[in-house]
Amino acid sequence: MSRSQRLLDLMQLLRRHRYPVTGAGLAAELGISLRTLYRDIATLQEQGAHIDGAPGLGYVLQPGFMLPPLMFSEDEVEALVLGSRWVAQRGDRRLGAAARDALAKIAAVLPPDLRDTLDASALLVGPGQPTVAEDGGLALIRQAIRSEHKLEIRYRDVGGAESVRTIWPFALGYFDRARVVVAWCELRQTFRHFRADRMIALADSGQRYPRRRQTLLKTWRETEGISTQ
């Protein structure tokens, strides 16, 4: 492995850890010695990476350090293309336009050889069932999730019964035939899943719900037995 590839792998490894990780753990994952690891960390720090920590204490990468575009691998470029194409075809209009814009921005800064890889990617998204959820509703749901705001909804269940609820939305699942909001329901006092296309009306209450989105997501995963890996 070249030194440049090793430095890239180290950066990617640090990005995956939100909390300090020991030098021994990093060295073991990279298959290098501790001495080499310390040299590589010093090199990255000299290049502007905000890596906090010290031998024996662990290391953590602070946000803000941008990787040069040429450090994308071909596999990473294809993953970006495939993901963007999926969102462009299966997302609502605003999200689809954002995916296309993001891909165009990435293409604009890639070196020529990787730009060719992006343009010629043969990974395609197959046809899927169209959804009937309104674009404006999905945009409002995403904004409520980002803002950690309660939503007031009027909901029609599979049997046709309607109810008015206050929910704390913290995740939005994209399936071929439906978009599903994962939320805490104040009426039922538990987690519930709501199909976006069955929300007859919805409004942002402007009120923050009392728990953090990440905490709700973690608790829901534990309740449902969903792995975070």
Reported as a single tens digit per residue, the pLDDT across 15-32 is: 888 788 999 999 999 999
With a pLDDT cut of 90, the percent of the chain lying above it is 43
In angstroms, rounded to a whole number, what is the distance separating the alpha carbons of residues 83 and 77? 10
Q: Taken in order 7, 13, 15, 21, is the CA torsion positive or negative?
A: negative
In angstroms, rounded to a whole number, what is the distance separating the alpha carbons of residues 218 and 209? 16
In angstroms, rounded to a whole number, what is the distance separating the alpha carbons of residues 213 and 215? 5
Q: Which fold has domain 3-61?
A: Arc Repressor Mutant, subunit A (1.10.10)
Least confident range from 50-59, 80-89, 204-213: namely 50-59
191: three-class secondary structure by DSSP:
strand
Q: At residue 75, does pLDDT exceed 60?
A: yes
Sequence-distant (6+) residues with CB within 8 A of 16 are none
The reported pTM is 0.66
**Identity at 166, one-letter amino acid code:** T
What average pLDDT is seen over the chain? 85
In angstroms, rounded to a whole number, what is the distance separating the alpha carbons of residues 213 and 168? 9
Q: Which fold has domain 135-224?
A: SH3 type barrels. (2.30.30)
User: What are the residue boundaries of the structural domains of the chain, listed by start?
Assistant: 3-61, 69-119, 135-224
